[in-house]
Structure 1
Amino acid sequence: MKFDAVVLGAGMVGVSVALHLQQRGLAVALVDRRAPGYETSFGNAGLIQREGVYPYAFPRGFGTLLRYALNRSTDVRYHPSALPRLLPFLYRYWYNSRPDRHAAIARAYSTLIEHCISEHRALIEASGAQALLRTGGWVKVFRTAQKFEAEQRQARRWNAEYGVQFDVLDAARLQHDEPWLGHSLIGGLRYTDSDSVSDPNALVTAYARHFEQLGGRILTGDAATLEPQWRVTTDAGVIEARSAVVAMGPWSDLVTTRLGYRLPLAVKRGYHMHYAAQNGARLNQPVLDAEIGYLITPMARGIRLTTGAELALRDAPPTPAQLDAVEPIARKVFPLGERLDATPWLGRRPCTPDMMPVIGPAPRHAGLWFAFGHAHHGLTLGPVTGRLIAEMVTGAQPVVDPTPFRADRF
């Protein structure tokens, strides 16, 4: 029960880290309390976002802030009881979202984003998961000319700065491509270089299966039992490793805090529900209703409706008010049928106040590595994060400069 590396957390990021380490000839154990892909990686929108060069910023306009403060917005809600603990994080998030700071962050963040498609496709090919992949992009749709024009200006800037490709769809083209969408939509933007998948959990599972085929071990255990240098308790007994990688998403602080690190990690929670499609209706690609703040996408189980962000404590009880608010609106956009899930699914996105993940060595512990804090882009950035960590652990030339993502930047 001795390994070269143990990876804690079996979501998209953790599985990708374990797989990349195993591919490089290390003996790797992957430890989680659940099977791979059954926490945050289970319930996302399935987007691999090549266009996501600018991470999601905190709003700075007074009108938007006032709307959110009233706590009735469809795209963002908050738990008032959580605000005292969240305010320091939110202030730093707001501070880093100033346009000049946000642009500087994007220059670093985009170095990861530019590899998201190629790195996923390499793992999809290796793991035989091609049937899950949907190419051709995804669509952001609009209801007002003002918002549509503003988003086009933004897309042109992204194209000039980072080569983000997009198509502008007028109402007729949108109806041609998605004939079951409602006529209240005046057009859309398709981000053509992005991919999506029909079952994010199945994709993580496929990567994990390939990891095992290469000789990796998946063990059930409590990652919070990690002790230097480096031991973890699992159902198969105590395992030891020369290196440990913390990739536990929103639960990463359960380990890092105990080891003396005070990293500013918070969560944005989100919900999803699956629906049948009425009258043979078909949705061909993911569709984001940009002015309302929800996304519908075709999944293996049905049409998945995902919500925006809920600012709350990680372990607070579910409050799916956003889902209840957007469902009637979504039904007017696409003919959703009956709910297919007994209860809404709740996920937790791990976020840092500068919108960038923590990737790299722990400052004060030899052999300890961090890979968490990917916010909305855990699925998108899992494989490139895995490659970057594996290259640093093995001393290879890293695919991107890891400096902006170091843990001691806070």
Structure 2
Amino acid sequence: MVQKVDALVLGAGIVGVSAALHLAKRGRNVALIDRRQPGEETSHGNAGVIERDGFVPITFPDSLTKLIRYALNRAPEVHYHRATIRSALPWLMQLRAHSGPIAIDRFARAVDQLERHAVEEHRAFARAAHAGRYFRSTGWLRLYRSPLSFAATDTEMHYARIFGARYEVMEPDAVRELEPHLRPVFHKAVHWQDTESVSSPGAVTKAYAEHFVEGGGRFLIGDAASLEPKAGGWVVTTSEGRFWAEQAVVALGPWSPDVLKPLGYDFPMLVKRGYHIHYRALGGAYLSRPVVDVDNGYVITPMERGVRLTTGIEFADRDAPPTPVQIARTRPIARTLFPIDFEVDSAPWVGSRPCFADSLPIIGRAPSHENLWLDFGHGHIGFTTGPISGRLIAEMMTGMPPLIDPAPYSASRFLQV
């Protein structure tokens, strides 16, 4: 027997949980489905930052020096598997096309729409889910080790002034008043004051999911790849039987193509992997906020398990065995900045980020299926944008006026690709 609900949400990371919560808030009977418990994939392993900066996307290297450095595959911020980089070449060429001033301006304005509502949407969920204890309103620091790397912030700060995002440029001595245990090995820093962070992004996602269930939603273990059209809607197989709904949301992050390719969709998405590991701090040293070493592509941030070190980008197949060489490369660099001691974890965590070359997600209706909705491809800002993208897609699905213009995130932008 097939059980009926109003909507199926596939994927219980921060994006899918947020979509399910917003749909339930609007009176829909929702089944949230994943193969694992909520918040145990990509949403578990990140810096836990809700950004109010990042108006300039990751772009194609702009100098021969950088290209050579990356080609040698020894940089701490970027690592690649040779087999994967060959298959990624078309995506990298698209990235190059999206690295000019017009594309950057388009991205900045689109991401600002999402980010300006990100903190308030998170905070509303956190209040309802009693998860406020995880949140910090301390901003975060981006450190620049050279005048050259700091000079590259001009465009970021230009858009911050346009959009009203608060920041302060700081000298090392001023930074140490905020974070006394950071060593002054950098040239300058920018304190992004409106950015917030959490002490456990996985726990926050789980708390939101528990709130969804307590409010009457259903969380089910199931195989998203079993999704198929049936009787004017969609049916999926779970551990509690088959469920049918008129509408379905694909919010599976890097696993979204597994469901969408059989339905005829082949979006130009690339997976970037990242790693994290936790450390104890030496001699009572502490951090109060996340810190980015921009030149070396890693973040150190205080988490419940200790100081989390997160790495930059690894171009590798989603399901390839872990190769945490970036942990080994960044650990000694991080120790020059902050006194980390021994590793708390037995092995680094590895996860995958779903990324499009224009650095924007897809949020909206599937082009060829009126009752199939897409919410994935959030790249490096999925934890930031999960709740606001969930609200946006729920408003579109229920026929409500959307809070922001959804056009920049439409899947139709890839129809000619």
Q: Which moved more, 1:162-171 or 1:371-380?
A: 162-171
Mapped partners of 1:204, 1:389: distance in 2: 18
Please, which of 395, 402, 406 is the counterpart of residue 399 of structure 2? 395
Query: Secondary structure of the equivalent of 1:230?
Result: strand
Letter of the aligned partner of 1:192 in structure 2?
A: Q
Mapped partners of 1:166, 1:354: distance in 2: 25
Q: Give CA-to-partner distance per residue, 1:15-37, whole Å, 9 cap, x none.
A: 00000000111000000000000
Mapped partners of 2:342, 2:378: distance in 1: 33
Mapped partners of 2:44, 2:308: distance in 1: 12
User: How do residues 338-377 of structure 1 correspond to structure 2 at under 5 angstroms?
Assistant: 338-377=342-381
Please, which of 78, 91, 94 is the counterpart of residue 92 of structure 1? 94
Mapped partners of 1:2, 1:158: distance in 2: 47
Q: Which runs of 5+ in 1 are unaligned?
A: none
Matched, 1:404 2:405: no
Could you tell me whether the CA contact under 8 Å between 2:281 and 2:341 is conserved in 1? yes
Could you tell me whether the CA contact under 8 Å between 2:76 and 2:329 is conserved in 1? yes
Q: Give CA-to-partner distance per residue, 1:109-150, whole Å, 9 cap, x none.
A: 321122111111111112111100000200011222332344
Letter of the aligned partner of 1:111 in structure 2?
A: Q
User: How do residues 248-397 of structure 1 correspond to structure 2 at under 5 angstroms?
Assistant: 248-397=252-401
Mapped partners of 2:241, 2:310: distance in 1: 39
Query: Secondary structure of the equivalent of 1:60?
Result: coil
Matched, 1:193 2:194: yes
Taking structure 1 as reference, are residues 80 and 408 closer, same or farther at Cα in structure 2, changes over 3 Å only?
Answer: same
Query: Secondary structure of the equivalent of 2:262?
Result: coil
Mapped partners of 2:219, 2:407: distance in 1: 30
Letter of the aligned partner of 2:224 in structure 1?
A: A
Query: Secondary structure of the equivalent of 1:252?
Result: helix
Aligned position for 1:205: 206
The CA deviation at 1:241 is: 0.7
Mapped partners of 1:401, 1:157: distance in 2: 23
Q: Give CA-to-partner distance per residue, 1:177-234, whole Å, 9 cap, x none.
A: 1111113223311000010000000100111011111110000000010011300000
Taking structure 1 as reference, are residues 27 and 403 closer, same or farther at Cα in structure 2, changes over 3 Å only?
Answer: same
Letter of the aligned partner of 1:387 in structure 2?
A: R
Paired residues, number: 409
User: How do residues 229-244 of structure 1 correspond to structure 2 at under 5 angstroms?
Assistant: 229-244=233-248
Mapped partners of 1:293, 1:159: distance in 2: 21
Mapped partners of 2:72, 2:123: distance in 1: 43
Mapped partners of 2:60, 2:162: distance in 1: 21
Please, which of 133, 138, 142 is the counterpart of residue 136 of structure 1? 138
Q: Which moved more, 1:14-23 or 1:85-94?
A: 85-94
The CA deviation at 1:155 is: 4.1
Query: Secondary structure of the equivalent of 2:326?
Result: helix
CA RMSD of aligned residues (A): 1.2
TM-score (norm 1): 0.97
Query: Secondary structure of the equivalent of 1:89?
Result: helix
Could you tell me whether the CA contact under 8 Å between 1:60 and 1:94 is conserved in 2? no
Could you tell me whether the CA contact under 8 Å between 1:48 and 1:195 is conserved in 2? yes
Letter of the aligned partner of 1:163 in structure 2?
A: G
Mapped partners of 1:266, 1:277: distance in 2: 35
Query: Secondary structure of the equivalent of 2:397?
Result: helix
The CA deviation at 1:5 is: 0.2
Mapped partners of 1:96, 1:199: distance in 2: 33
The CA deviation at 1:156 is: 3.0
Q: Give CA-to-partner distance per residue, 1:360-393, whole Å, 9 cap, x none.
A: 0011112100000000010000000000010000
Mapped partners of 1:372, 1:155: distance in 2: 25
Q: Which moved more, 1:99-108 or 1:6-15?
A: 99-108
The CA deviation at 1:62 is: 2.5
User: How do residues 167-178 of structure 1 correspond to structure 2 at under 5 angstroms?
Assistant: 167-178=168-179
Could you tell me whether the CA contact under 8 Å between 1:138 and 1:286 is conserved in 2? yes
Aligned position for 2:167: 166
Could you tell me whether the CA contact under 8 Å between 1:57 and 1:355 is conserved in 2? no
The CA deviation at 1:161 is: 2.2
The CA deviation at 1:315 is: 1.2
Aligned position for 2:148: 146
Mapped partners of 2:47, 2:5: distance in 1: 34
Aligned position for 1:122: 124
Q: Which moved more, 1:183-192 or 1:284-293?
A: 183-192
Aligned position for 2:83: 81
Matched, 1:224 2:225: yes
The CA deviation at 1:406 is: 1.1
Query: Secondary structure of the equivalent of 1:276?
Result: strand
The CA deviation at 1:56 is: 2.3
Query: Secondary structure of the equivalent of 1:4?
Result: strand
Q: Post-superposition, which runs of at least 4 consecutive aligned residues in structure 1 deviate over 4 A? A: none
Mapped partners of 2:293, 2:103: distance in 1: 27
Aligned position for 1:9: 11
The CA deviation at 1:324 is: 0.4
Q: Percent identity?
A: 49
Q: Which moved more, 1:203-212 or 1:137-146?
A: 137-146
Letter of the aligned partner of 2:176 in structure 1?
A: Q
Mapped partners of 1:165, 1:94: distance in 2: 29
The CA deviation at 1:59 is: 2.3
TM-score (norm 2): 0.96
Could you tell me whether the CA contact under 8 Å between 1:142 and 1:148 is conserved in 2? yes
Letter of the aligned partner of 1:317 in structure 2?
A: P
Aligned position for 1:65: 67
Mapped partners of 1:135, 1:377: distance in 2: 18
